[in-house]
Amino acid sequence: MKKALGLKTLLEDKKYWAKFEAEMAQRHEEIAATRKDAVLHLRMNSRDLARLKEKAAQAGMKYQPFIAALLRQAAR
């Protein structure tokens, strides 16, 4: 059975800190990838918008995030 590391030992462990910094960098990149930093104004047919709103409601989402998810999927 492994003995738990003490706080002082953990704070001095370079492997622990390297892993921690790598995980934090990855989280930072994930957050930056989801940040919405552009505005899009779009004209579309009112019937199409009504259908999108219906589909968003069926998915349990508001229509703007639903449309954004569709566009994100198409961009991949």
Q: What is the pLDDT along the chain (76 residues), one digit of tens a residue?
A: 455 667 777 778 888 888 889 999 999 988 887 777 889 999 999 999 999 999 999 999 999 999 999 998 999 8
* Integer CA distances (angstroms), 5 to 11, 14, 35, 54, in order: 10, 14, 37, 55
This prediction has a pTM of 0.57
Q: Looking at residue 26, what is its pLDDT? A: 92
Distance in angstroms (rounded) separating the CA atoms of residues 64 and 61: 8
User: Both ends of the chain: CA-CA distance in Å?
Assistant: 47
Among candidates 8, 3, 31, which has minimal Cα distance to 16? 8
